[in-house]
Every structure is written in structure tokens, then in C-alpha cells.
Structure 1
């Protein structure tokens, strides 16, 4: 039985319309809540089938920290894209431009579910700053300030 998403939820098939990322680089499975220009809460279910676990590390699989940050950046991208009028994003792409005050607190293992919390900090023109926090079982695994820009696509 297929169930309809709850109010404010965005499911994977709709995420594909918002982000240009595809397997194996799409790091957001579902958005649980979203408030325009305020916050977004998404999840990424981490599976042993993730291709990066083949080499990071075969005998002790740990999700690379940079991919946790990428998941936060993609979550922030969803918040910004959903907050803007569609005309402001047509023919454009959201690119990661920087990160500050990044801290990795705990490793992320296969079977974990990453809860990705991103809040809006500020923007100027098409440069955006967000605050991201990734959590597993209510504990912070990574956090930082992420910046990105909306730029024209060069197809």
C-alpha cells in the first residue's frame, strides 16, 4: 500500500525534481519537515550497500565525513530551492562554496539513519549561509556552517 507523505514531507521521487544529484551521490532520502526560509529536517538511511564502504574501510566501514557534509549541503539546497519562486531557480544550479567551524563528533556506520537538520542563517543576492547538524540516535555526529551559491548552469 502506498501512503501519502505527511504535510511538509518531501519523498525521494520529489527530491529528484529538486536536486541534480543521482546515484551514487544523492544523499537525501526523505524530507520530514520544511519551513520556507527557516529550516529543514531530512534523513539519509546509511546502508552497507553504499559504494564508498568498499574502500572506507573494508574491515571497519565508516561513512566519510565529507559525505555527511555533502548530505547537509544537499538538505540545505532543498530548503533554499523550495523557499524561492521557481523562476529564480530555472536553468540554475546550487553549488557548495564553503564550510566553516566543521566538527565531526562520532563515526557513522552502516545501519545508521542520519537526521539532517539545516537552518537558514542569511543570504545576500544568490549566496546562502546555513547551519547544519547531522545526528544519529539523537547524538550529533557532525556540524558546521555551510555556504552555497545559485549560479547559471552551463549546459
Structure 2
């Protein structure tokens, strides 16, 4: 298990846009399980929505993309010299709302790789319930 300090070394995202809090498990060079703690202090909850806070779906997708980024950067030389960009999203679907107090468990895996382009499948669960899933592409470039 790797903590937030490791994540901060690996990816450039920072508050309020850092959407992964911990790496729970990394089975190999192709799969990762991460965690995002969702709190009422998240800045997006003040407007999405007042009196009924729901995490925006696009930020759930971003948490998936950041998790996937950690798969790639953890196994290359000099990860600080590379960035990973989300390049295409396929079949993103939200199955349930994410609200303050939830812990999102994000499972991401590489399903195809060609040069510096990667295809991922990712799911998000809260209390073992599927809340979102997606397929997406990301590209790695030098900084």
C-alpha cells in the first residue's frame, strides 16, 4: 500500500484536483486498486448541489484516469519526466450517486498498449456497489 506522499511524487495533480488518496493494491504492471475519500469539504459540493451534494460524474471519471496514470508511471524510468493525458473516453456510465462520506474504490487495468498509448478499463465501487465504469485511452508524453 502506498500513501498520498508517493502519489504526489508520481502525478502532477494537486488540491483541489487530486482525486486519489491511496494506492491499496498493485497486482502487476497492468492493474491497480486505489481509494478516494469523499468529504463534504470538497469544493465542488458547494455548487453540486446545494442541500443535496453529489460528486460530479466527470470527477469520478477523473479519479479513474488518475488511478490509471499511476499504473504507467510506477513502472517507467524517470516518471517525473513524463505526463499521462486522457485522450478518449468510451462507454462511461454512472450507476449510482457518490455523496460525502463515501469511499470510492477504483479498480483500473491496462487492456491494450501500443507505443505510448494505453487503453484502460476502470470501475468504481462504494461499499461493494458499482457506482461507475468506463473504458478510456491515455497517452504518455515527455514533459
TM-score clears 0.5: yes
Q: Normalised by the shorter chain, which TM-score bucket?
A: over 0.9
Task: State TM-score, norm by structure 1.
Answer: 0.89
CA distance in 2, matches of 1:83, 1:36: 10
Unaligned runs of 5+ in 1: 1-8
Alignment of 1:3-18 (within 5 A): 9-18=1-10
1:107 aligned residue: 97
In the alignment, is the contact (CA less than 8 A) between 1:41 and 1:116 conserved in 2?
A: yes
Give the counterpart of 2:137 among 125, 136, 147. 147
Q: Based on CA coordinates, which of the two structures has the bigger radius of gyration? A: 1
1:65-100, Cα deviation, whole Å (9 max, x unpaired): 00000000000000111122x14x442211111110
**Counterparts of 2:88 and 2:126 in 1: how far apart (Å)?**
24
Q: CA contact under 8 A between 1:29 and 1:44: conserved in structure 2?
A: yes
Identify which of 40, 56, 64 aligns with 2:48.
56
Q: What CA RMSD, in Å, does the superposition of the two structures yield over aligned residues? A: 1.0
Aligned counterparts, 1:34-45, within 5 A? 34-45=26-37
2:83 maps to which of 73, 87, 93: 93
Pick aligned residue for 1:116 from 106, 115, 125: 106
User: In the comparison of the two structures, how many residue pairs are matched?
Assistant: 143
Cα distance between partner residues in 1 of 2:8 and 2:80: 15
Q: Deviations over 1:76-129 (max 9, x none)?
A: 000111122x14x44221111111011100000000000000011011000011
Show the counterpart of 2:21: 29
- Partners of 1:80 and 1:151 in 2: how far apart? 11
For the 8 Å contact 2:10–2:80, the answer to whether it is kept is no
* DSSP 3-state at the match of 2:54: coil
Q: For the Cα contact (< 8 Å) 1:45–1:113, is it kept in 2? A: yes
